A and B are shown apart, each in its own frame.
Chain A
Amino acid sequence: QVQLQESGPGLVKPSQTLSLTCTVSGGSISSGSDYWSWIRQHPGKGLEWIGFIYNSVSPYYNPSLKSRVTISVDTSKNQFSLRLSSVTAADTAIYYCARAVAPEDSGSYWFDSWGQGTLVTVSS
């Protein structure tokens, strides 16, 4: 059973870069069929997909955030990371890392494993 755990600063100043890391255990991040994802949830609100990385090298980002987001993988540490630049108060949210599985015969993917989430507050 794969487990994910987010880590990083809980407070970021406006205009700075938010950086989070997700450590994966119980499975290899190098698995070619999985999408390693970041999803956020504004306080009391719904879920917003930020992006994911596939096969360790192919990132996909939400167009609404694309100009500010970078997702990368460190296979040696079995971790993947999120960087979100030029943050504002609107980026205050709970950030989740998640795995999306994409069975070959399904043509689809779904988020089957999630980290516990980490609250990031953007404030001076």
Chain B
Amino acid sequence: DIQMTQSPSSLSASVGDRVTITCRASQSISRYLHWYQQKLGKAPKLLIYGASSLQSGVPSRFSGSGSGTEFTLTISSVQPEDFATYYCQQSFSTPPTFGQGTKVEIK
């Protein structure tokens, strides 16, 4: 299985800060990398697919980049509704695997 490792595991940010989350794959996954947001008690929500494509309806302050083994999710100006846990997921090979999550908390 391909291992996905996110860093940091958690971070504190103030409203308006730029937030960057990194996801590393244990082998090259091209751009088969997707990002999800999960709020407490809710199902995950797709934010970014194919490393950098914004899912319909997702605010443009979210962006993704990377290829191969290293990827980033950036929130350009974090808003109160963005405080949540973020997961990356690879679909390069089966089984699809998720990172362990990055919790974004209010400073």
Contact = CB atoms under 8 A, between A and B. Distances in A.
Q: Do A and B come from one complex?
A: yes
Interface of A: 46-49, 60, 62-64, 96, 98, 100, 106-112, 114-117
A46 B100 contact: yes
Contacts of A46: 87, 98-101
Chain B CB count within 10 A is highest, among A63, A110, A112, for A110
B96 A49 contact: yes
A108 B98 contact: no
Interface residues of B, number: 25
Nearest to A48: B98
6 nearest A-B pairs in the assembled complex, by CB-CB distance = A114-B43, A110-B49, A47-B98, A110-B34, A62-B95, A108-B32
Interface of B: 1, 31-32, 34, 36, 42-46, 49-50, 55, 87, 89, 91-92, 94-101
Nearest to B98: A47
B94 A60 contact: yes
A111 B44 contact: yes
Contacts of B55: 112
Contact of B50 (A48, A62, A108, A117): A108
Contact of A47 (B32, B42, B44, B45): B44
Given A96-B43, A108-B32, A116-B43, A47 B87 contact: yes
B101 A112 contact: no
Chain B CB count within 10 A is highest, among A48, A96, A106, for A106
